[in-house]
Amino acid sequence: MREKKLDSRTKARKIARLVVEKKGTDLLLLDIKRLSSVADYLFICSAESERQVQAIATHVEEGLRKGRERPLSVEGFEAGRWVLMDYNDVVVHIFIEPVRGYYDIEGLWVDAPKVELKDADKKAG
């Protein structure tokens, strides 16, 4: 029997739980569906090192793959400073801390409502 694909909100919350499992910090989920035709949600988080950025990205990809979700593309994995994972309706940004501040993605989407992540610690570890 085929597993049903996750809706975008459920997928975003699952991503948050997977990130917390790998000690990602400063989790932020932005609802952009009224502001963009590209995706429904932007998920942003931080990591302390390049290795942790890569570990989080790998864990997210493996965790979603179990539910038959695969990214359309993954960028930046090799360098490990900023990984972008495009899951069509959810775009994931995993930053090493100084790079996140430099690019200020959340500042670009200041009009996007923040979604509460009750079931995932915002500050893990």
Q: Residue 78 maps to which CATH number? A: 3.30.460.10
User: Which tens digits make up the pLDDT trace of 4-46?
Assistant: 678 999 999 999 999 999 999 999 999 999 999 999 999 999 9
Asked if the structure places residue 23 within a domain, the reply is yes
User: Which tens digits make up the pLDDT trace of 72-89?
Assistant: 999 999 999 999 999 999
The model's pTM: 0.90
Angle subtended by helix axes 8-21 and 50-65, to nearest 10: 130
Range of the domain at 23: 8-108
Asked if the structure places residue 119 within a domain, the reply is no
Q: 37: phi > 0 → left, psi -120 to 50 → alpha, else beta; which?
A: alpha
The structure tokens 């990130």 sit at 19
Query: How many structural domains does the chain have?
Result: 1
Asked if the structure places residue 92 within a domain, the reply is yes
CA dist 48 and 45 (Å) reads 11
CA-to-CA dists, residue 28 to 1, 3, 78, angstroms: 34, 28, 23
